[in-house]
Amino acid sequence: MAHITIRQRDPQPDGANACLAFDHGEEYPIAVTDPFTEEEEARLEWYFKEHFRFPFTRQVRAQKAAESVTAYGEALFKQVFVDPDPDAYARYKAALQSGVENLVFEIAGAPDFHALHWEALKDPKLPQPLALQAPVVRRNLTPQTVRAHVRPSPTINLLVVTARPGGARDVGYRTISRPLVEGLRQAGVPVRVEILRPGTYRALVDHLEAIQEAHGTGHYHVVHFDVHGALLTYEQFQKGAQADRFLFQARYGRDDIEPYDGLKAFLSLEGAQEGQSDPVEAQELADLLVNHQVPIVVLNACQSGKQVRPEPGDALAETRETSLGSRLMSAGVQMVLAMGYSVTVTAAELLMTTLYEQLFAGQDLAAAIRRARLELYNRKGRRAYFNQTVDLEDWLLPVVYQNREQRLQTRDFTPQERAAYYERQGRRYRPPAVTYGFVGRDLDVLNVERRLLTRRNVLLIRGMGGAGKTTLLHHLAAWWQTTGFVDRVCYFGYDERAWTRQQIVVAVAKELMGEAEYTAVFQPLGLEAQQALLAQRLCATRHLLILDNLESITGSHLAIQNTLPEDERQRLHALLTELAGGRTLVLLGSRGGEEWLAPATFDDNIYDLPGLDPEAASTLADLILERHGATQYREDEDVQRLLDLLDGYPLPMEVVLANLARQTPTEVLAALQAGDEAIDMRSESKTESILRCIDYSHSNLSPDAQQLLTCLAPFTSVVYLGALEQYTEKLRAQPTLAHLPFDRWQEVLQEAADWGLLSPHPQAQGYLRLQPILPYFLRSRLAAPGQAEVKQAIETGFRQLYDQMGRDVAGLLTSLEAQ
Amino acid sequence: MDYHIALPPDLDVNRQDFVADWNDTAECRALAEARLVPQAPQGFPIDPQLVQQGLVLLTGAAGVAGGLALDALKDAVKDKLTEYFKEKLSRKPALQVDAVRQPGGAYLLVVTEEA
């Protein structure tokens, strides 16, 4: 490796303000000036910060900004290698002979020197900027007072701090962490990834303290901050605080931010409430990390590596450090990867995915970053606002500060460590395979975690049939275990078996205790004592207990075999009551509200699981269409209508869209609306057939409820409760339907809601949201032989209702009465 | 059919005010209902909500399908914005509204200020 050092030094009378050296040898004086005018710098900043916010205009300006990067890099190259001394250029060319990939560029200087875009450096005779082929690292001139050291470890230990203060209005919770964690499957070195939960400053302090107590200082090799960030003036900070968007006072472990001049770098962690962020100032973060001997920090926050060019004539130019990355280096961190300007989510995702793939494959850090930078260069399309795509030259953004070369080194396992590590790997929870992979749900994962951490450790996940509860529960179990949130996982599905309290206690004890302890300590105890021992263990340590498909417990015995008698329900309730308030997380999955189980367990801690969000639904649709060779329909308007009707429910999407392999979207839409059974999978499983999925609930309704619910067949998506009385009148007037128990509507709707067939609409008060497939199911029943008369009567009542509503609306439009 | 309106960040339009103005104007409301919907951040700024306000959605415009009706909607957006600038900001920018067809068939109404 040939080291090329460009070092700032005091300005000389001849104009030289830096020197160039090869392999730390002879120094060549050079004069470095900013190749950009202020206007050009402002244009580049606009390009990275503003262009993707409204990518419809100023295309010429964007094009010029993109082109200016090359011009800048070549001008800087000329200043450094060509202008000063022919001998220096000859040395450069000689070094190049061994291959540009064997060069390392080190830039050493004060903040004003680091304001230059050294990563743009480009030899006009080479096709690409040098940073794409060789590491470019920066170094401060200020010596570090302390230096972080990692304890020798057999695994690479990585902590990911993800903060999404905006919740539903924020970047996807796992956009960065999920590809990172999934990359572990191909890791060539043993890696442990933990994700901080919740993403607050207090949780970070507590976590680092706990790790220090358990392992000593220097446990983590890398801490990755997957958070928002910016350079702020004090006025900007105050504006955020006054709007209650920034936590200002009562910041955990830190004083209030005092007024300051110029800009300071902040990272945004999560505040006390959703929508509020807790800005952590660069020095505060540096102090915390150096206390815990963190050697490498990775940041995907905007402007986390941005060094603002000091004002001309600023006497303190050399000390005006705005780069968070640089500040962390001064505090003792050995290597920092940060972002020079605003970074898009797509770029951060691509950069970090490649970086960790390389790191986990055993590459050294500088080489991994170079490779990730190259990936940004080769794949320039970035998702902009308004669902647009723009090309950006943002390979320039990653800025690497490095004191000394960093390689993530591990020591050999001791035999005991090896056994423990691979035993842990061997007992990892493995979720059942999902046909199209696990898609989306980032916001649901975030919401579930927040409820468990801030409300109660027992949570009911309630969702209508086909919403994907079981798939989510299995996924959470694996995700949380892999990312260090829980240790052991125990899953009990009541659709498979009527698990009694005793069976659960025994199964959990076997999972938690070794064979010896189970036999010697647990087994001799009576059942009550076993439960007490196990509850104590579960309350003291964090595991995950999942009880799924709870609606089966109280189901009709004829429809579902796995019900529990009343006394057994009470025992189960008593067990869960003992776990409430402990460290173990308890997730309950059901179509209904499970009121019998709520008191002193989950109480009102309920998460209503919706369908997939539109983006995830679109991704799943793409996967389904691709598998079934129907991608030609992707832009078809009837496919869009189908997606609207299916409301992001994974199972209905998988079953209905699969029909596009042999039918047109128009035909599938018509079949869905007509209740044609032919579009369903021929399966007896409620997780494969949409009719079975609904029948599982429907068969548990009372006969009265089943009959009455059929009257909702003509509705699509929602039912307006305000019109129910009128609709009932029209139905009652039909002789075929007159015998129906219309006075039991409220009871029947509640029963249907308990079985996950409908629910109050979350956005529109006074409306019921129907499970997307319920109308199809009901229509398919009406299409059965012998139902023609009932079908006609319901359709007549429905038509008359809308005739009446139409007349009422027309009356309002033409009325001359003010009220 | 739903239409999203893309407003340039530097045009300084308060989206909430615009939505309220639109829905309070009978002619506009007859064409479609305006709503403010969140737009997921595409970057990591410290306060995404300040960087990018919500997205204006015109919904329930089923009766305006077709070219002529789309023109009517574009004209209404332009007129309403012009009125907004005149009343709230005492200026009269020359605005242009272009319809961009999105994947799935929906339209994005892109507002720009003519140079």
Instruction: Mention every residue, 6+ apart, whose C-beta is less than 8 A from residue A791.
Output: A713, A782, A783
Instruction: Judge whether B99 lies within some domain.
Output: yes
For residues A802-811, average pLDDT: 88
Output the CA angle A358-A360-A364, nearest 5 degrees.
Answer: 60
Chain A residues with CB under 8 Å of B104 CB are: 635, 637, 640
Would you say A774 and A710 are in contact if contact means Cβ atoms under 8 Å apart? no
- Distance from C-alpha of A31 to C-alpha of A12, rounded to nearest angstrom: 9
- Distance from C-alpha of A775 to C-alpha of A710, rounded to nearest angstrom: 9
For residues B47-71, average pLDDT: 68
For residues A363-382, average pLDDT: 92
- Distance from C-alpha of B57 to C-alpha of A387, rounded to nearest angstrom: 14
Q: What is the per-residue DSSP string for A547-589?
A: EE-GGGGGS-TTT-S----HHHHHHHHHHHHHHTTSSSEEEEE
Q: At A360, is the pLDDT very low, low, confident or very high (cuts 50, 70, 90)?
A: confident
| Predicted TM-score (pTM) of this structure | 0.89
- Distance from C-alpha of A191 to C-alpha of A187, rounded to nearest angstrom: 7
Instruction: Mention every residue, 6+ apart, whose C-beta is less than 8 A from residue A657.
Output: A621, A624, A625, A628, A630, A639, A642, A646, A668
pLDDT at B82 over 70: yes
Cβ of B45 under 8 Å from any chain A Cβ? yes
Would you say A382 and A391 are in contact if contact means Cβ atoms under 8 Å apart? yes
Instruction: Judge whether B69 lies within some domain.
Output: yes
**C-alpha distance from residue A327 to each of A144, A262, A332, A401, A556 (Å):** 11, 15, 9, 10, 65
DSSP state for residue A411 in the 8-state scheme: P
Would you say B109 and B8 are in contact if contact means Cβ atoms under 8 Å apart? no
Question: CA-nearest residue of chain B to A169?
Answer: B40
Contact B46 A348 (CB under 8 A): no
Chain B residues with CB under 8 Å of A302 CB are: 43-46
- Distance from C-alpha of B86 to C-alpha of A278, rounded to nearest angstrom: 39
Question: CA-nearest residue of chain A to B51?
Answer: A53
Cβ of B60 under 8 Å from any chain A Cβ? no
List, for residues A58-87, the tens digit of each pLDDT value: 999 999 999 999 999 999 999 999 988 889
Chain B residues with CB under 8 Å of A50 CB are: 9
pLDDT at A550 over 60: yes
Bridge pairing between strands A222-226 and A156-162 = parallel
Selection from A28, A35, A66 nearest residue A48 by Cα: A66
Selection from A781, A772, A775 nearest residue A652 by Cα: A772
Q: How far is A722 from chain B (nearest CA, A)?
A: 20
List, for residues A174-196, the tens digit of each pLDDT value: 999 999 998 888 888 889 999 99
Q: Which of A2-11, A488-497, B53-62 has the lowest mean pLDDT?
A: B53-62
DSSP state for residue A268 in the 8-state scheme: E
pLDDT at A819 over 70: no
Q: Could you tell me how many CB contacts below 8 A there are between chain A and chain B?
A: 109
Contact B39 A166 (CB under 8 A): no
The pLDDT mean for chain A works out to 90
- Distance from C-alpha of A671 to C-alpha of B103, rounded to nearest angstrom: 25
User: Given B10, B43, B102, which is nearest A302 (Cβ)?
Assistant: B43
Tally of residues, chain A: 819
Would you say B33 and B60 are in contact if contact means Cβ atoms under 8 Å apart? yes
- Suggest the residue from A49, A51, A54, A342 to mutate for an interface test with chain B (most B CBs closer than 10 A): A54
Chain A residues with CB under 8 Å of B39 CB are: 385-386
Alpha-carbon radius of gyration of chain B: 14
pLDDT at B101 over 90: no
User: Given A52, A346, A386, which is nearest B6 (Cβ)?
Assistant: A386
Selection from B43, B24, B23 nearest residue B32 by Cα: B23
- Distance from C-alpha of A348 to C-alpha of A229, rounded to nearest angstrom: 13
Would you say A769 and A717 are in contact if contact means Cβ atoms under 8 Å apart? yes
Which tokens in the block code for residue A599?
């008191």
Contact B49 A385 (CB under 8 A): no
Would you say A80 and A92 are in contact if contact means Cβ atoms under 8 Å apart? no
**Cis peptide bond N-terminal to A198, omega within 30:** yes
Cβ of B104 under 8 Å from any chain A Cβ? yes
Question: CA-nearest residue of chain B to A636?
Answer: B104
- Distance from C-alpha of B48 to C-alpha of A660, rounded to nearest angstrom: 39
**What pLDDT was estimated at residue A559?**
55
pLDDT at A226 over 80: yes
Contact B50 A240 (CB under 8 A): yes
- Suggest the residue from B10, B33, B42 to mutate for an interface test with chain A (most A CBs closer than 10 A): B42
Chain A residues with CB under 8 Å of B100 CB are: 56
Q: At A637, is the pLDDT very low, low, confident or very high (cuts 50, 70, 90)?
A: confident
Question: CA-nearest residue of chain B to A383?
Answer: B42
Contact B44 A300 (CB under 8 A): yes
pLDDT at A420 over 60: yes
Q: Is A503 left (phi over 0), alpha (psi -120 to 50) or beta?
A: alpha
DSSP state for residue A143 in the 8-state scheme: P
Q: What is the dihedral of CA A56, A60, A61, A66, to 10 degrees?
A: 100
**What pLDDT was estimated at residue B67?**
58
Instruction: Judge whether B59 lies within some domain.
Output: yes
Bridge pairing between strands A489-493 and A718-720 = unpaired
- Distance from C-alpha of A288 to C-alpha of A266, rounded to nearest angstrom: 14
**What pLDDT was estimated at residue A408?**
75
Instruction: Judge whether B95 lies within some domain.
Output: yes
Contact B48 A57 (CB under 8 A): no
Structural domain boundaries, residue B11 = 3-40+51-113
Instruction: Judge whether B46 lies within some domain.
Output: no
pLDDT at B64 over 60: no
List, for residues A479-512, the tens digit of each pLDDT value: 999 999 999 999 999 988 999 999 999 999 999 9
Q: Which residues pair with A363 in a beta bridge?
A: none
- Distance from C-alpha of A32 to C-alpha of A458, rounded to nearest angstrom: 62
Q: Is A204 left (phi over 0), alpha (psi -120 to 50) or beta?
A: alpha
Please give the sequence-ordered ranges of beta strands (E in DSSP) within B50-94, or none if there are none.
55-59
Other Cβ atoms closer than 10 A to A408? 22
Instruction: Judge whether B30 lies within some domain.
Output: yes
Chain B residues with CB under 8 Å of A383 CB are: 42
Q: How far is A637 from chain B (nearest CA, A)?
A: 6
Instruction: Judge whether B74 lies within some domain.
Output: yes
Would you say A138 and A118 are in contact if contact means Cβ atoms under 8 Å apart? yes
In total, how many domains does chain B have? 1
**What pLDDT was estimated at residue A762?**
81
**What pLDDT was estimated at residue A541?**
95
- The helix or strand, by DSSP H or E, that contains position A281, with its residue range, turns out to be strand A277-281
**What pLDDT was estimated at residue A682?**
67
Q: How far is B104 from chain A (nearest CA, A)?
A: 5
